[in-house]
């Protein structure tokens, strides 16, 4: 994977997806639409939405280029039957 592909096909889409999710959580928090955030019967929907929003700001869902290159090598080896599955 070239650096250009890494930036334009992995980093930028991951950043936009993260921004979008954070915006939706923020808008749910501001509009009072946080009913879907309570998973367990005893959970407070507002608190869950609030905590998920603030936690999501520090999440980093991008992978290093080296990791993705090594993963692609493993996939290629499996496709070429050089490595056994499972």
> Is residue 60 over pLDDT 90?
no
Mean pLDDT of 37-65: 92
Q: Is pLDDT of 9 > 80?
A: yes
0.85 cut: is pTM over it?
Answer: no
Q: Which pLDDT score is estimated for 84?
A: 63
Q: What is the mean predicted confidence (pLDDT) over 46-51?
A: 94
| Contact predicate 77/53, CB 8 Å | no
pLDDT at 86: 58
pLDDT band at 83 (very low <50, low <70, confident <90, very high): low
Cα separation, 43 vs 46, whole angstroms:
9
């Amino acid at each position: 994977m070239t650096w250009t592909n890494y930036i334009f096909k992995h980093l930028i889409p991951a950043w936009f997806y993260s921004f979008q999710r954070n915006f939706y959580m923020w808008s749910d928090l501001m509009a009072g639409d946080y009913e879907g955030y309570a998973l367990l019967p005893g959970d407070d929907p507002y608190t869950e939405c609030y905590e998920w929003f603030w936690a999501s700001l520090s999440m980093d869902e991008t992978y290093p280029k080296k990791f993705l290159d090594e993963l692609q090598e493993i996939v290629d080896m499996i496709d070429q039957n050089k490595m056994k599955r499972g």
